[in-house]
Amino acid sequence: MSHIRGRFQKDAAEAVVKYTTSLPFDRRLYRQDTQGSIAHARMLAKQGIISTDDAKVLEEGLKAVTKELDEGRFIFKPELEDIHMAIESRLLELAGPVAGKLHTARSRNDQVALDMRLYTRDAVTETMKGIRDLQLALVEQAEKNTAVLMPGYTHMQLAQPVLLAHHLLAYFEMLQRDYERFGDCFKRADVMPLGSGALAGAAYKLDREFVAKELGFSGISQNSLDAVSDRDFVIEYMAAASICMMHISRLAEELVIWSSSEFGFVEMDDSYATASSIMPQKKNPDVAELGRGKTGRVFGHLAGMLATMKGLPLSYNRDLQEDKEGLFDTVDTLAASLEVFAGMVGTLEFKAQNMRRSLDKGFILATDVADYLVKKGMSFREAHGVTGRLVNYAIGKGKTLESLSAEEYREFSTLFGEDVRGITAETSIASKNVPGGTAPGEVSKQIIRCKKILGQVG
Ligand code: ARG
């Protein structure tokens, strides 16, 4: 019978042990757990709550346990319900009865809150590095492809010509917001909850600020009831991860479309594509598809955690144990997706000629023709109508706008001169020279700005 079952006369049923244990997954928190315990032991000694010698024995013991775990030598006993009990029980074996003093002025409720905060802070830091890697791959591709023109789309219909670099940098912007969101999430995780006890605080003269400092936290929690039951930081990580995965999924979707033979805009590197087991000619974008697919489970973890929290009265409830698997899977899925997409984006080969060719379809310069008339004095609404009739005429003749003669143009408006035939995808793109527009000069400025953000230029 486990040593905390003092008032019980029976062991827990076998199915109950299996049902309630978190050991199979919360072992992942072992470093955070021993790190937090060491800080706690030092503080107890500093405050004279335990002796300095006892604190030393505890610290040595906790380090020995950590080493066993690091080296895979630690034996997990299934009857110990979580990583906190497993470590404490091993500490008892290694350090002797003094191990019983470690849990002074502490509950597993504030302990697990601390572990989760330490874990989330580390996860955020790693995630932000992963975002930077994908941003860098995008900027490098943008820089390589500053002269590549492609159709821009709305409603998946050919809309106006843009630079490929401009299109790629749109994803840089999304990821930049993700980066900032995670930075913000860090702030909320960066609060030290130890000292909250089971729910009410602790009946000892603790130095909570000392523990916070030892563990590199910016501050301490201000309400013990909230601190043991708050998992906002987990939800915030999941929310930021969901938005980031949504961005990755959008990119994935474009790459799936672009690599189809109908589009032929991009070729995936062999190392980031898969083969079909039946159709020898195929090169499949499975990697991109999996990024898109895995997005669903990350959204699911967020929805699951919100649902877990919504009915919880103060303060700690065991439901909170359900925060872990979803968070761990979210962290892993996002990290893997960022890494794989950075590699995939870095090795994409864009097909500039195919992109250029699709600019000849779909009357993609129609807006530029309307703009031409506006510059000659016509109102935009009228110009829109004239150009619409022109497009209709061209469709009827089986022609493109570029292949119409100046005379044909003039039948629709006398404002048209010979120079209307000088409108090209290049002039269209060059004309979009507002900040944030697709003109080459503006895109070059953006590349420099992005590289500055990444610390690539001074
Ligand atoms: N395994 C538990 C969790 O993850 C640790 C806290 C247990 N506390 C308790 N009062 N049963 O939430």
Mean of all residue pLDDT scores within the chain: 96
| Rounded Cα gap, residues 436 and 446, in angstroms | 8
**pLDDT given at position 276:** 81
Using the mean position of ligand 1's atoms as its centre, give its distance from the Cα of residue 203 in Å: 21
Alpha carbon of 275 to ligand 1 centroid (Å): 46
Q: Both tokens of residue 206?
A: 């603790």
Q: Whose CA is nearest to atom 10 of ligand 1?
A: 109
Structure confidence by residue, pLDDT tens digits, 166-219: 999 999 999 999 999 999 999 999 999 999 999 999 999 999 999 999 999 999
Mean pLDDT of 218-233: 98
Task: Supply the pLDDT for residue 71.
Answer: 98
The pLDDT of 94-123, averaged and rounded, is 98
Q: What per-residue confidence (pLDDT) applies to 88? A: 97
CA dihedral 21, 23, 28, 29 (to 10 degrees): 80
Read off the amino acid at residue 322: E
> For residue range 294-307, what is the model confidence (pLDDT) as tens digits?
999 999 999 999 99
Residue 2 clears pLDDT 70, i.e. is over it: no
Active site residue 40: no
- Quote the CA–CA distance of 210 and 214 in Å, as a whole number: 6
Is the shortest distance between the CB of 109 and ligand 1 below 6 Å? yes
Q: How far apart are the first and last CA of the chain?
A: 63
In the annotation, is 384 catalytic? no
**4: pLDDT strictly greater than 90:** no
Mean pLDDT lowest among 4-18, 200-214, 281-295: 4-18
- Compute the average pLDDT of residues 236-260: 98
Question: Which tops the pLDDT comparison, 313 or 275?
Answer: 313
Residue written as token pair 């020898």: 280
Q: Which of 51, 218, 276, 403 is catalytic?
A: 276
The predicted-structure confidence for 367-418, as pLDDT tens digits, reads as follows 999 999 999 999 999 999 999 999 999 999 999 998 999 999 999 999 999 9
**What is residue 1's predicted lDDT score, i.e. its pLDDT?**
47
21 lines ligand 1 (CB under 6 A): no
The contacts found for 421-424 with CB under 8 angstroms, 24 or more apart, are: 423/365, 423/368, 423/369, 423/372, 424/365
- Res 3 pLDDT > 70: no
Residues 67, 65: Cα–Cα separation, whole Å: 5
Structural domains for the chain: 14-104 (1.10.275.10), 109-145+162-187+221-357 (1.20.200.10), 359-453 (1.10.40.30)
Phi, then psi, of 186 in degrees rounded to 5: -55, -40
Is the pLDDT assigned to residue 160 strictly greater than 90? yes
